[in-house]
Amino acid sequence: MYLCCSSTSSFIYEGVGQVLFSKYAHLYRLGNDVVLINSLRLKPVYLSYNKFITIKEFLESGKECDFDELVELKKYKIVIENQKDDSRILEFVKSHAPHPAVSVCYFILSEQCNLACKYCFLGNNDKEKRKHFYKQHMSQEVADKAIFHFIEQLEWHQEHQDLESVRPVVIFYGGEPLLNYDVLKYVVKRFNQLKEEHELLKNIEFSVVTNGLLLDEEKLRDLHDLKVSIAISIDGCDEKSNSMRVDTNGNPAFGRIVKVLDRIKELGVPVSLSITLTEESIKNKQKMIDLIKRYEIKGLGFNILMSDANFILPESYSVDAANFIVDMFKTLRELGVYEDRIMRKLNAFVNSQVYYSDCAATAASQIVVAANGDIGICHGCLADRKYFNHNVSESHLNLDNDLIWNEWSTLSPIYKDECQECEALGICGGGCPINALKEKEGNTIHSMDRRFCVHSKACLEFFLEDLYRIIFKKTSRCKKISL
Ligand code: SF4
Ligand code: SF4
């Protein structure tokens, strides 16, 4: 095998032609070793630093070289024969992008809320925005029509799938969904009745995202019997971390949430937590772990705060939150607690499969039904009804040709020029377009959610470090260096 140099990142591989580093290749230093990865192929190759330098020098010197490692580097597209290979990889990835197919339905049972958290991205903390929310709760009539539309979407989009793999998801959301508890129960029971007629509903799953304040014993038992997963939103472990979680009169809610959690524990009803990471809550990892242990929580998801013109976060917040999530994940897995946000990316990394979208809106796989029956793609736009363009009273919704669903289906990082050279491209899934939109004047849903980039890159570093620890029984901080 002969190699000769044409530049530091491009060389001649005899018998094959010019060989070069893929534009998707990235290099990290791990102590005395390095790891290389193609961000779309997602198969890391670990080498000693010295070996990497030797290979690189051989490549640059044009001397004969026959390193086994080069075979691996080629196999996993870290080095490629020519630039067309990069285009082919990207085309391959794009050709496997999931087609928009609705499988998730948000029922906004009430746009009203009994809290007014200071960071609320829906705008429930803003008197002006609050005026825009529909005053009445979702009626049974609207719920019936929403059920019909969701089933219709499932039948259009999921009918060619193997029934076992179809997992329709209904999420009860708000405002505060438990303000309209009767309709919640009605919807679950109605879907369960309809399972006989519609086999696609066989594996339907229900969950409610609630601030928990209205959860009494009867509701807890009911929801458990109805197999509705309960996710309680909270901002951390103490009053201080939850200081932004206040009711409409500005009174703190944390004490009341703790009483509910105590009751839940007594009753033995499993719940998960949806933890919004405030600047205060990420200061004390141990306290957060104590809370999770105290309430025997087995699953949770961390939410990174959104920032906008009225709610400005310091630059350092993104980094601190990203590091906190990774640190917590390391401890939680030892405790057998499932953290959803990292697990979604980790699955992609472990299976070497590109993760296209981190939310069902950017996968164009969800519909959101507002309390008055308006249908949109993202509940983050409830206040201004942007990206809502249908209503349950319309007979058929053809989302395949719909401008909104089609536009949102192109928001994956794999379609974005700015993301092509990013190391986290294959595991990222993109952030929240609504956060990107609100981040600064002039932004659109196509802008970057930069807060999320920090998180995605921190996750990739952690995965590479962790795999290194598992395979080589060595620990080292992973640091990106130029190739
Ligand atoms: S776009 Fe943002 S607010 Fe809307 S569903 Fe996705 S993550 Fe949530
Ligand atoms: S959104 Fe950010 S982290 Fe994700 S691929 Fe794009 S640049 Fe990378």
Taking only the tens place, the pLDDT of each residue in 371-388 is 999 999 999 999 999 999
Please check the confidence at residue 4 and state whether its pLDDT lies above 50: no
Total-model pTM: 0.92
In this predicted model, which residue has the larger pLDDT, 40 or 3? 40
Q: Which tens digits make up the pLDDT trace of 116-125?
A: 888 887 777 7
419 lines ligand 2 (CB under 6 A): yes
Same domain, 91 and 109: no
Cα R_g (the chain), whole angstroms: 25
Q: Ligand 2 pocket, 429 CB below 6 A? A: no
- Atom index in ligand 2 nearest the CA of residue 449 equals 1
Our answer on whether the CB atom of 411 is closer than 6 Å to any ligand 2 atom is: no
CATH number at residue 206: 3.20.20.70
Report whether 427 contacts 345 (CB < 8 A). Answer: yes
Mean pLDDT confidence for 405-418: 96
- Does 13 have pLDDT greater than 50? no
- Length of the chain equals 483
* Integer Cα distance of 229 and 264 in angstroms: 13
Q: Is there a cis peptide before residue 175, judged by omega within 30 degrees of 0?
A: yes
pLDDT confidence tier of residue 8, bands split at 50, 70 and 90: very low
**166 and 84 in one domain?**
no
Q: Final residue of a domain: which of 383, 405, 427?
A: 405
Task: Using alpha carbons only, give the angle 476, 478, 481 rounded to the nearest 5 degrees.
Answer: 135
Ligand 2 lined by 168 (C-beta under 6 Å): no
pLDDT of residue 10: 42
Residues 74 and 30 in one domain: yes
Q: Calculate the alpha carbon distances from 137 to 108, 146, 184, 386 in Å.
A: 9, 14, 11, 20
Q: Are residues 301 and 363 in the same domain?
A: yes
Q: Would you state the pLDDT for residue 64?
A: 59
Average pLDDT over the chain reads: 91
Contact 273, 81 (CB under 8 A): no
Read off the amino acid at residue 100.
P
Mean pLDDT of 339-365: 96
Q: How far is the CA of 481 from the centre of ligand 1 (A)?
A: 33
258 plus 291 within the same structural domain: yes
Q: Residue 412 contacts by C-beta under 8 Å, 6 or more apart in sequence?
A: 97, 356, 357, 362, 363, 429, 430
Does residue 166 fall inside a structural domain? yes
Name the 3-class secondary structure at 233.
strand
| CB 105, CB 150: distance < 8 Å | yes
Q: Is residue 392 in contact with ligand 1, taking CB distance under 6 Å?
A: no
Q: Which atom of ligand 2 is closest in space to residue 422's alpha carbon? A: 8
Are residues 189 and 284 located together in one domain of the fold? yes
What six digits make up the tokens of 435?
A: 């956060």
Q: Is residue 432 part of a domain?
A: no
481 assigned to some structural domain: no
257 and 323 part of one domain: yes
Locate the DSSP E strands across 56-121. Answer: 79-80, 104-110
Ligand 1 atom 4: residue of nearest CA: 378
The predicted structure's pLDDT at residue 388: 97
Residue nearest (by alpha carbon) to ligand 2 atom 2 = 453
Q: pLDDT tens digits for 94-105?
A: 999 988 889 999
Out of 54, 79, 96, a domain closes at 96
Nearest-CA neighbor of 339 among 426, 254, 331, 458?
Answer: 331
Pick the closest to residue 274 from 124, 125, 174 (CA basis): 174
Expressed as residue numbers, the domain containing 191 is: 104-405
Q: What's the pLDDT score for residue 58?
A: 75
Task: Report the share of the chain in percent with pLDDT over 70.
Answer: 95
The Å distance, Cα 390 to ligand 1 centre, comes to 18
Confidence of residue 395 (pLDDT cuts 50, 70, 90): confident
Separation between Cα atoms, residue 451 and residue 432, nearest integer Å: 9
Residue 31's Cβ-count burial label (10 Å; 0-12, 13-18, 19+) is middle
Locate 269 and state its tokens.
Answer: 């009803």
Which of 338, 371, 405 marks a domain boundary? 405
Pocket test for ligand 2, best of 38, 304, 417, 425 (most atoms within 8 A of CB): 425
So what's the pLDDT on residue 65?
64
CB of 241 within 6 A of ligand 2: the answer is no
Looking at the fold, whether 21 and 112 belong to one and the same domain comes out as no
- Span 424-435, average pLDDT: 96
Q: Is residue 471 assigned to a domain?
A: no
Residues 43, 177: one domain? no
Between the CA of residue 477 and those of 184, 209, 319, 465, what are the distances in Å? 48, 36, 16, 7
pLDDT digits (tens, 9 = 90+) for 217-269: 999 999 999 999 999 999 988 999 999 999 988 899 999 999 999 999 999 99
Cα–Cα–Cα angle for 63, 65, 71, nearest 5°? Answer: 145
Give tens-digit pLDDT for 430-474.
999 999 998 888 999 999 999 999 999 999 999 999 999 999 999
d(CA 237, CA 124): 23
Lateral strand order in the sheet of 104-110: 338-339, 299-304, 272-277, 228-234, 205-210, 169-174, 104-110, 366-369, 374-376, 388-391
Total of domains in the chain: 2
112 in ligand 2 pocket by Cβ < 6 Å?
no
Residues 254 and 124 in one domain: yes
